[in-house]
Structure 1
Amino acid sequence: MEVYLVGGAVRDELLGLQVKERDYLVVGATPEQLLELGYTQVGRDFPVFLHPANKEEYALARTERKSGLGYTGFICDFGPEVTLEDDLMRRDLTINAIARDTQGRLHDPYGGQADLEARVLRHVSAAFAEDPLRVLRVARFAARFAGLGFVVADETLALMGQMAAGGELGALTPERVWRETEKALACTDPQVYFETLRRCGALKLLFPELDALFGVPGPKRWHPEIDTGLHTLMVLKRAAELGGSQACRFAAFCHDFGKALTPPEKWPSHHRHGELGLVPINDLCDRLKVPNEHRELALLMSRWHVLFHQLTEPGPTQVESILQLFNGTDAWRKPARFAELLICVQSDWQGRTGFGQLPFPQREHLWQLLTQLRTIVARPFVAQGLKGPAIGEAIEAARRQKLTELLT
Structure 2
Amino acid sequence: MKAIYLDAFSGISGNMMLGALIQAGVPASWLEEKLRELPLGADAFVMRAEEVRRNGICSVYVEVVLPETAEHRSGHHEHETHVHRTMKDIRRMIDQAGMPSRVRENALTVFQAIAEAEGRVHGRPSDEVAFHEVGAVDSIVDIIGTAWCLEYLGVERIFASRLNTGSGFVRCAHGIMPVPAPAVADLLRQWPRFCYGAEKELTTPTGAALVTALADYSASLPDGFAVQSISYGAGTWELELPNVLRVYLGEYRGQAKKEPVLLETNIDDMNPQIYGYLYEKLLDAGALDVWTTPIFMKKNRPAHQLSVLVDSSCREACADLLFRETTSIGIRVIPIDARLEAARHMAVVETRFGPVHCKVSAWHGQLTQVSAEYEDCCQLARKNNVPLKAVQREAIHAFHARIGGEPYEKGGLD
Query: When the two structures are superposed, what TM-score results if normalisation uses the length of structure 2?
Result: 0.23
Question: Which structure has the highest helix share of the two?
Answer: 1
Higher RCO (C-alpha under 8 Å, 6+ residues apart): 2
Richer in strand (by share): 2
Superposition TM-score, scaled by structure 1 size: 0.24
Which of these two proteins has the greater Rg computed from alpha carbons? 1
